[in-house]
Amino acid sequence: GAVVSQHPSWVICKSGTSVKIECRSLDFQATTMFWYRQFPKQSLMLMATSNEGSKATYEQGVEKDKFLINHASLTLSTLTVTSAHPEDSSFYICSGEQTYEQYFGPGTRLTVT
């Protein structure tokens, strides 16, 4: 199946700093990528839909100025958590869509201290 990678796999940052997470589709081109967030013992929550070359579409309640998404190519989307705070600590997962199926990355564990 199609492979999606994320980098870094985990990151620790200080409160007030920004963190960038990369999502790459390794063996397919993903016109659409999705970003999810998952808190401990909870399900995945869709944050935004990212289409190559256009602005991301954010789900209700997700601050677009805080979670900056860039999808500059068919194989790369980035999520930048700006001015991170401890409550942003979570597991961030991306997925790429190919022929109506979503393939997920391994996730990035963000811890804000």
- DSSP SS3 for 5: strand
Name residues contacting another protein, limited to 31-50 (CB under 8 A): 32, 34, 36, 43-46, 49
> Would you call 34 helix, strand, or coil by DSSP?
strand
Region 79-108 residues binding another protein, contact defined as CB under 8 A: 91, 93, 95, 97, 100-107
Q: Shortest Cβ distance from residue 110 to another protein (Å)?
A: 13
Closer residue to another protein in complex, CB, 19/107: 107
Other C-beta atoms lying within 10 Å of the C-beta of residue 4: 25
DSSP conformation class of 27: S
CA–CA dist 9, 30 (Å, integer)? 20
The token duo for 23 is: 């999502």
- Site residues, another protein (CB under 8 A): 1, 4, 6, 32, 34, 36, 43-46, 49, 51, 57, 91, 93, 95, 97, 100-107, 109
